[in-house]
Amino acid sequence: MESSTGTQLHINNAVQQIVADNACVSGSSFTNVAAENLTLDNVTLAGTKIMDANLSDLEIDGAQIGGAYIHNIGMPREGHPAYEPGAEQRPVRFEMCHLNNSTFDNCQLVNVELRNCNISGLKINGIDIEALLNMHSNPS
């Protein structure tokens, strides 16, 4: 099917392996698609939305995420078709990430550990954590 922006390829009820080199697939849509073990190298995904996805074992390396809005992440909620009572989220690891001026709002951070992190200006519920730690390590 030809469109004003190029060719549209419709893949329906099929198993396909797609190799796209030096291609523009902007505006494409994938719905109810199995896409395990994809490799996306030197791509721009600006404006991309990923919804109701299983991103287990996802690795993102060398990405720019300024302005990203990441929400409703974790185990499926009760009522969702993939909900499993008692299931627990596997740990997530962030390494060498610059999350300056970011906000974590209404997040479950049970047993989260920060190691070798610059916490200058880090506040939890309005409390300056660096100052709090300094106060406890240097009691008057």
Q: From first to last of the 140 residues of the chain, give the pLDDT tens digit.
A: 444 467 788 888 888 888 889 999 898 899 999 989 999 999 999 999 999 888 989 999 999 999 999 998 888 889 988 899 999 889 999 999 999 999 999 998 999 999 999 999 999 999 999 999 988 888 76
Residue 70's pLDDT is 92
Contacts by 63-71, CB closer than 8 A, 24 or more apart: none
97: nearest Cα among 73, 126, 130, 70 = 70
Structure-block tokens of residue 122: 């880090």
Residue 93's pLDDT is 93
Question: Rounded CA gap, 80 and 100, in Å?
Answer: 33
DSSP assignment string, 101-118: T----S---TT----S--
Question: Rounded CA gap, 67 and 94, in Å?
Answer: 18
Taking the C-alpha atoms of 28, 35, 48 and 101 in order, what is their torsion angle to the nearest 10 degrees?
Answer: -170
